[in-house]
Structure 1
Amino acid sequence: MPVSRSESRQHQKQQRARRMKRLFAINLVLLLIIGALAVVYVVQRQDGNEKLNNAANEQHAPADSDNAGQSEDAGNETGTEADDSTSEGHTIYEPISDDEPSTDNEAATGGTVTPDDGGQVNLSFTGDVLLAASVEKLMLKNGYDYPYAKVLNELKTPDLMAVNLETPVTLRGTPAENKQYVYKSSPDALPALKAAGIDVVNLANNHTLDQGEEGLLDTIAHLDEAGIPNMGAGRDELEAFKPVLLEAKGISVAYLGLTRVVPVGSWKATKDHAGLAETYDSTRAVAAIKQAKKQADIVVVMVHWGIEREDLPNNDQKRLAHEYIDAGADLVIGSHPHVLQGFESYKGKWIAYSLGNFIFSGMTPDKTKDTGVLQAACNEKGDCALKFNPMRAVQSQPAPLTGEEGVALLKRMSSISFHATVDEAGNIQPKE
């Protein structure tokens, strides 16, 4: 029987309507399934995060709940002071690491520090680091990471690693006149320095202004851009003497940079002039140390001083080191002589008179190649256990010194130390 055109259209409309209903029902079911899956995912993720947080809290919680409360309060106080001081110079950096110290580093301390306040922080130091002259040529040939290749474990293991940066970092500047060695490093070298594990650098030395005030300000800017805290120099006296405040394992550390080697008087920072934090007279340095002690648990003074290639510190080094500790310093770390000098135990605190060259151009005599990494395991009270890891640099590339050569270097270090001994494992102990 023939179907009229109107009846055909009506039939087609009914079919389309049925199809739309089926599609709507299918889409609704799919949306309900997706929603259910999303709810399950969110619940599972929240449960997982809660478990991770609980595990982390259990891992890092101090054994003594009273001590835990004290540590938290101390951290808040330090953080408040840090925020107040950021507008006046050096940046205040957040905690470097909340990880537990590695077993290698714990073993290296010799176990002589037994903190009763819930933990310890592992600090390490080297001597002079140069990124210019023949060192730069080696890096351009072998890569910017070349100098650190054989000591990465020693540089990356500590919670905080500090070095003396013996060069301006700039592409501009006016070379210093009447100066035998004038350096200039490219900012391209800084990412590898940071990647090697360097957390903070001292600029208070006799090369930072090799390219004038312009070079100094460029150096600070490039280091800030690379995320490497720096101290010992600044746009004025206030910034030059201002500490860098860092924190690790809940312990705050203030780093101050000072120099008693200033080629010309104009290199000294003043109230209205950029330059270095100098310490020919200790008055300004002592005041800065006392102020830093109010801001941090541990105060580290990194100072450029002494006579080049001399194994023993001079009277000025000894006098200043004692004055720094009397003012509140917990560690005094020296550089400039280009050779290793001994250690001293003074009133329960430690002095390393010179850590020599670490990464530097070739020099004579051969003892300028002897170097190492000094480790200090310190508690919140500033009590530290020291260990020296002997090394030797060949072609500006330091490497661990083992066997009889390593033992011989440690014995020599012991023989030139004061009120301290260095054993064959590198542990440094007080001696009356």
Structure 2
Amino acid sequence: MHVSRSESHKQDKQRKSRRMKRLFIVNMSMLAVIGVLIAAFYLTGSESKEGLDSLRGVREQGTAAENGSVGDGENGGEEAVKDGAAGQPTDEAGEDEGEVDSGAGADGAAGENAGAADEDLAGTGEGAAAREPDEQPDSPSAGDDGAGDPSPGMPADEEGAGAGGPEPSGETVRLSFVGDILLAANVQALMAKNGYDYPYAKSLSYLQGPDLMAGNLENPITKRGTPAQDKQFVFKGTPESLPALKEAGFDVVSLANNHTLDQGVEGLLDTIGYLDEAGLPNTGGGSDDQEAYEPVILEAKGVKVAYVGLSRVLPVGSWKAAPDRAGVAEAYGEAKQGIEAIKAAKAKADLVVVMVHWGIEKDDKPQEYQKQLGRRFIDAGADLVIGSHPHVLQGFETYKGKWIAYSLGNYIFNMTKTDKTKDTGVLDAVCTQTGSCELQFHPMRSEQSQPVPLEGEPAKALLARLSGNSFGATVDTQGYVKAKE
């Protein structure tokens, strides 16, 4: 049908008019919705603020994903035990004797801590001679986690570490700790097969929940080095294992132990370099004594925390850091340099944590020198003293309102028939800025070098044993550590 030009123009105007009306209605509707949202925002503003405040337990240090993804394991097993030994689980308390690999360094030669060159090491008898292996290791398959998939539960709340637990007054920071971490030998073979994140998989929430997470790294990280001589157990780990350690939640590691120089000074300096590349601060070892005794100072929630690494267990005196020698920060004799390092750290930080390698392997109780030394650390300014090396859990002691954890045992290590070396856990310390800390221990059991949280009667039994081995302190069925009244 033909339509005149005037009629067409009229229809166009009508269509434009209808479009304008529709646009007006839409705009008014949008304005009404915006008004409602603004009103709701002001009415619920206080509740929103409370919701944001409840998130303050998120780790301030983060997991540093910019450091790269976890290695795929393609070359992860190249440093593991060779000549068919990779499938044989080993450790310091029961490793197969006679398996020596000077290239990989996963096994050693002739008696760890066999003696000390310096007089202050050789004369003490502490850490100068390890016990002889008394049992043969287990022989589980490398791919079997041996644990099923029990629910690990949730780690304690940041404030007071859980319902019914004591709460320090004021703003708090949650510092958490584990014992020895071995990323070499049979553990390395397991990671090469199952992924570098394998050891942490079933305890991950306990590692990522705290504000700051720390442990003792029990092996050098290097692709070269010269294996230490006259040492029964010589370890060597690959740099590919470090991103997973960082991503698991660790913020700092101590290098002050009797394995850091298993691959010589070259291996020690490589370890520090690789840790720096992975974004993992470290303490207790260095290119000279100034660097070895220098604390790592981290900050969480505005609280500065200094970590000092010290070892009372060295195979020979030449491992000691000196002004002209790379090595480890030691605490023999009067531990003068260690004491001075603690005092200096206290001047720079709100809280001071001493991570110390000491004691006798497989002993449930600390030596008398450990008790005296731990108290001296506290007198110098330490707020927490965290021990490692015995490969078993030891108890707690309170001194002048501060806490000493004598040994947190093995966290990630080779497996043996020495049953109690499989008992492990994560220690939480909820601390105020003034140094008042409340402790809770989360009991775990290592299955195929993978810690698994314990529940029910097994958890209660482990905690009861810890309580019985403590001094002036008790550990209740929920893992809270309290001073005896």
TM-score (normalizing by structure 2): 0.68
Structure 1 position 344, deviation (Å): 0.3
Aligned residues of 1:297 and 1:381 also touching (Cα < 8 A): yes
2:297 is the alignment partner of 1:245: yes
Could you tell me how far apart the structure 2 residues matched to 1:383 and 1:56 are?
A: 31
Task: Provide, for residues 230-254 of structure 1, a one-character-per-residue CA deviation record: whole Å limited to 9, x for no partner.
Answer: 0000010000000000000111100
What corresponds to 2:61 in structure 1? 96
Counterpart selection for 2:239 from 180, 187, 195: 187
Instruction: Answer yes or no: is 1:160 the counterpart of 2:125.
Output: no
Structure 2 distance, partners of 1:427, 1:103, is 11
Q: Quick check: 1:294 aligned with 2:294?
A: no
Does the residue aligned with 2:268 lie in a helix, a strand or coil?
helix
CA distance in 1, matches of 2:48, 2:349: 26
Secondary structure of 2:443's aligned partner: strand
In 2, Cα distance between equivalents of 1:258 and 1:271: 16
**Residue equivalent to 2:312:** 260
Please say if residues 168 and 438 of structure 2, whose CA atoms lie closer than 8 Å, have aligned partners that are also in contact.
no
Q: What SS does structure 2 have at the residue aligned with 1:135?
A: helix
Question: For the residues of structure 2 that align with 1:188 and 1:106, how far apart are their CA atoms?
Answer: 35
For 1:114 and 1:233, the matched residues in 2 are separated by: 33
Other-structure match for 2:182: 130
* 2:388 aligned residue: 335
Q: 2:169 is matched with which residue?
A: 115
**Matched AA of 1:359:** I
- Percent identity (aligned): 62
CA contact (8 A) 1:113 1:378 kept: no
Report if aligned partners of 1:96, 1:160 keep a CA contact under 8 Å in 2.
yes
Query: In 2, distance between residues paired with 1:365 and 1:259?
Result: 24
- Answering whether residue 422 of structure 2 is matched by residue 422 of structure 1, we say no
8 Å CA contact 1:155, 1:198 repeated in 2: yes
SS in 2 for 1:108: coil
Counterparts in 2 of 1:254 and 1:399: CA distance versus 1, 3 Å: same
Q: Deviations over 1:291-328 (max 9, x none)?
A: 10111110000000000000000011101000000011
The Cα shift of 1:362 comes to 1.1
- Per the TM alignment, residue 389 of structure 1 is displaced from its structure 2 partner at its CA by 0.3
Once the two structures are superposed, residues 162-186 of structure 1 have per-residue CA deviations (whole angstroms, 9 ceiling, x without a partner) of 0000000000000001101000000
Distance, in Å, in 2 between the alignment partners of 1:334 and 1:363 is: 21
Q: Match for 1:311 among 349, 364, 368?
A: 364
Matched, 1:219 2:276: no
Cα deviation, residue 104, structure 1: 3.3
Q: CA deviation at 1:190?
A: 0.3
2:289·2:322 contact (CA, 8 Å) conserved in 1?
A: yes
Aligned residues of 1:113 and 1:383 also touching (Cα < 8 A): no
- Amino acid corresponding to residue 142 of structure 1 in structure 2: N
Deviation at 1:55, TM superposition (A): 10
Where does structure 1 lack aligned partners over 5 or more consecutive residues?
Answer: 1-46, 62-93
Structure in which a larger fraction of residues adopt helix: 1
CA distance in 1, matches of 2:456, 2:403: 27
Q: What's the CA shift for 1:111?
A: 4.0
**Highest Rg: 1 or 2?**
1
Figure out how many residues of one structure are paired with residues of the other and give that number: 346
> Within the alignment, does 1:393 sit opposite 2:358 as a pair?
no
Q: Which amino acid aligns with 2:328?
A: L
* Ranges of 4+ aligned residues in structure 1 off by more than 3 Å: 54-61, 102-107
Residue of 197, 206, 220 corresponding to 2:249: 197
Pick aligned residue for 1:171 from 216, 223, 229: 223
Change (3 A) 1:336 1:178: same
User: Which residue does 1:76 correspond to in 2?
Assistant: none
| Separation (CA, whole Å) in 2 of partners of 1:262 and 1:103 | 36
For the Cα contact (< 8 Å) 2:265–2:327, is it kept in 1?
Answer: yes
Counterparts of 1:249 and 1:124 in 2: how far apart (Å)?
15
CA distance in 2, matches of 1:267, 1:58: 53
- Measure the CA separation in 2 of the matches of 1:106 and 1:58: 16
SS at match of 1:104: coil
Query: Root-mean-square deviation (CA), in Å?
Result: 2.3
Kindly indicate whether residue 340 of structure 2 is the aligned counterpart of residue 375 of structure 1. Answer: no
Gaps of 5+ in 2: 1-37, 54-58, 63-154
Q: Give me the whole-angstrom Cα distance separating, in 1, the residues matched to 2:321 and 2:52.
A: 43
User: Could you say which residue in structure 1 is the equivalent of 2:193?
Assistant: 141
CA distance in 1 between counterparts of 2:157 and 2:302 reads 21
Letter in 2 for 1:388: F
Checking the alignment, whether the CA contact within 8 Å between 1:258 and 1:277 is kept in structure 2 is: yes
Q: Structure 1 residues 400, 95: closer, same or farther in 2, change over 3 A?
A: closer
TM-score by length of 1: 0.77
The letter for the 1-side match of 2:384 is L
Code of the residue aligned with 1:141 in structure 2: it is: K
